[in-house]
Chain A
Amino acid sequence: MLKSKEKLLIFSLLSPSLLIILFIVAFPLGFSLYVSFTSYSLLTPGSMVFTGLDNYISLIHDSVFWGSLKNTVIFLTIAINVEFFLGLGISLLLSRELKGGRVLRTISMIPMMFAPVLVGFQFKWFFNDQVGMVNNLLYTLHLVKKPVLWLINGDLAMFSILVAEIWRGTSFMIIILTAGLMSLPKDPFEAAEVDGASGFQKFRYITFPLLSPFIFIAMAIRSLDIATAFDIVRIMTGGGPAHRTELIWTYVYRLGIVDTKFGLGCAMSYVTVVISIAFAYYLFKQLLKVRG
């Protein structure tokens, strides 16, 4: 048991760090929460007037907001799941004792090294209807006669953005899952081998449960980190055409920075934060369940 003097000493030693954290994290969070209840416009500094739930109510009546929320949920669900399955498949291959395995593992990390802006430009060019690589390939192979509208058609535009995001995000899954696979104990596998378990049975009953903590951590981090897809969307479609690929992050940017409605932008950011926390909470709950 710590004596009160020791407690005081610990607290006084920690207090500078606590104050810094409070100032860097808690103050901006609290302040932006307050701003979300005001009519603050970047262009009018005197406009930080408390307006209660006005911003949140105007979001409820905003059809573009609901559209962007729907798009974000679809985007997040597809991207995280595809990244997971791809990442898992590639990790299972890379975690084996392969010749050149280290080189392959290093290569698999390359997409993560690209800034999202660059990925956006790269895939915008790939999917350009006139001079893009994908359409040119389809023409050359005589698979299409008319340009495919990758970045125009609502579903195709979402698909194109997803391809870019999945290309970038799968690397992260690969790294975490490969590390997880390589750290699994060997004994259960040897025992299963002796008992005559098939490859699928070993994966289903040993690999997957043991790997679950890594899976949930990777998915939780990716689901929070996926907001960086903002740059990809902004470059590839700008959220359009006609809001077809608008995600909640591009809409926050449009409202808060371009339209300078900072109060409204903060309100929408908080809606995003609540959704992200709910998602992360769900994942961590699943993680705790798995760990018993």
Chain B
Amino acid sequence: MSKFKKVWLSVLIATFLFSLTAVAAWTKKPFEGVTIRAALIGGGNYEKLYEEFIPKWEKLTGAKVVIVAKMSHFELDKKFKLDFAAGAADYDIMTNHTSFAPQYDKFGVLLDLKPYFSKKDLSDFLPSVLKICYIGGRLIQIPRHIDISNIYYRADLFNDPAKKKAFKEKYGYDLAPPETWDQAYDIAEFLNNPPALYGTQFTGKEEAFSGRFYEMLLSNGGRLFDSHWKPVFNSPIGVKTLNYFKKLYQSGLVPPGVVNYVWDDVAKNFAQGKIAFHLDWGGWYPWYDDPKSSKVAKTFGYSLMPKGDAGVRVHWSGAHSFSVLKSSKHKAAAVSLIKFITSEAAGKFEAELGFGAVRKSVWDYVLKTTRDKRKLNFYKTYKYALENDEIVTPPLIPEWPSISNILYPQLQAAILGEKPVKKALDDAARKVEELMAKDGYYR
């Protein structure tokens, strides 16, 4: 073989080997061999996202996801706090929630995601939602969906001509989903026919009750705290607000068991057709509309929540989200996974399950593609509330769960008639003030 041929052959082989390496490098998946451990909210429709999107992400990236915990947020909350305190959080990503996040952030374990998300990445999220994902200027969570409450009502009752006529004669205005809390009372009183049918209901236990009180207090023009973090919910507006709940309870317009109800209890009652109207999260819509789980499927209506004395609708709200832990050894992969499961495609998938979208593009999509008139009304109402009403979170401070724990037993004591309303609120305010003082808010 001539010298030229030898050189030529060497170059050829070298080029072939280089191309092979380049192709191999090009086809190698970005997180091949990486394992991401995740602690996620489980149950109901929450898990469908993981079933649909995590295998796709694994296929794209070559990484593997191990879900180390899949439980309700109540259980997760307990786990997270103990894990963080003990330094035993061995997962890369976790389910978070805007109401719980300040507590977790106090442990200093959550990664600031700002450097990992460009302005373009974030531009599609609703600004009001994105705002509550920051703590101290750090983006510690990426929103998954947002929950707000509106009215679910028995349209068969509201559209009954005989009832419409009788209502107009008695109250002087048309029977329709209530615009104000006063109207809500009238309608509850009019439709109340216990024990077969109650006018309305509310969640009367735990944070579910504190939150309901909070949003009505705000819509009436009240506040939980003044600018110095002194509790002011025992103001005359607070008394009026709690009296409203007490009057509903004492007049028998709500099931007497409400003080023991949380979300699944009110949902079961409404699905059984035992409640004329009530406030509930948007996420329940598919369940209410499924004839397998609900007697009111295909017949109930959905409308905006009532306004308070201040002339505004206030929605106590919170966004489910995902966070990455600072301790993660695979931060890039963890962030990539979060981006994937909060992407536009994931948002569309979850919006179709009934969850409140947090991306503008997802809202555009569902409004354009939904054909079912009732469902379209649901989406339109939801979006209207997100864009036009006051969307509030509980105070984003780590003390909120403790405040709620002080508040709701006192609210219960008042509506059960164990204590006068003013005394119950004063007692709660005194205890909250002690808590805030202990935690250094008045130094």
- Residues on A close to B: CB < 8 A? 42-45, 128-131, 139, 146-147, 149, 151-152, 237-238, 240-243, 254, 257-262
B107 x A238 contact (CB < 8 A): no
Q: Enumerate the 8 nearest inter-chain pairs by beta-carbon distance, A residue then B residue, closest first.
A: A129-B257, A241-B259, A242-B413, A242-B412, A259-B402, A241-B412, A43-B106, A151-B260
- Residues on B close to A: CB < 8 A? 78, 81-82, 84-85, 103, 106-107, 194-195, 204-206, 255-257, 259-260, 265, 268-269, 272, 274, 398, 401-402, 405, 408-410, 412-413, 416, 418
Q: List 29 A-B contacts (CB under 8 A).
A: A42-B82, A43-B107, A43-B398, A45-B85, A45-B107, A128-B257, A128-B265, A131-B269, A147-B255, A147-B256, A149-B256, A149-B257, A152-B256, A152-B260, A152-B416, A237-B260, A238-B205, A240-B259, A240-B408, A242-B259, A242-B410, A242-B412, A257-B81, A257-B82, A258-B402, A258-B405, A259-B401, A260-B402, A261-B402
Chain B contact surface mostly: helix
Cα A129 to Cα B137 with chains together (Å)? 47
9 extra interface residue pairs, beta carbon distance < 8 Å, beyond A146-B195, A238-B206, A242-B418: A43-B81, A44-B106, A130-B274, A131-B269, A147-B195, A152-B259, A240-B412, A258-B402, A260-B103
Partner of B272, one of A44, A130, A242, A258: A130
A130 x B103 contact (CB < 8 A): no
B residues near A146, Cβ cutoff 8 Å: 194-195
Cα A234 to Cα B422 with chains together (Å)? 28
B residues near A259, Cβ cutoff 8 Å: 401-402, 405
B256 x A257 contact (CB < 8 A): no
Interface centre among A131, A147, A254 (most CB of B within 10 A): A131
B residues near A238, Cβ cutoff 8 Å: 205-206, 260
Given A129-B256, A131-B269, A152-B259, A257 and B195 touching (CB < 8 A)?
no
A residues near B398, Cβ cutoff 8 Å: 43, 260
A241 x B416 contact (CB < 8 A): yes
B residues near A254, Cβ cutoff 8 Å: 405
A residues near B405, Cβ cutoff 8 Å: 254, 258-259
Closest to B252 in A: A146
- The smallest C-beta distance from A289 to any residue of chain B, in angstroms, reads 43
Given A130-B195, A152-B256, A259-B405, A241 and B274 touching (CB < 8 A)?
no
Cα A254 to Cα B405 with chains together (Å)? 8
- The smallest C-beta distance from B327 to any residue of chain A, in angstroms, reads 15
Closest to B411 in A: A242
B residues near A258, Cβ cutoff 8 Å: 401-402, 405
Interface centre among A149, A152, A254 (most CB of B within 10 A): A152
A residues near B274, Cβ cutoff 8 Å: 130-131
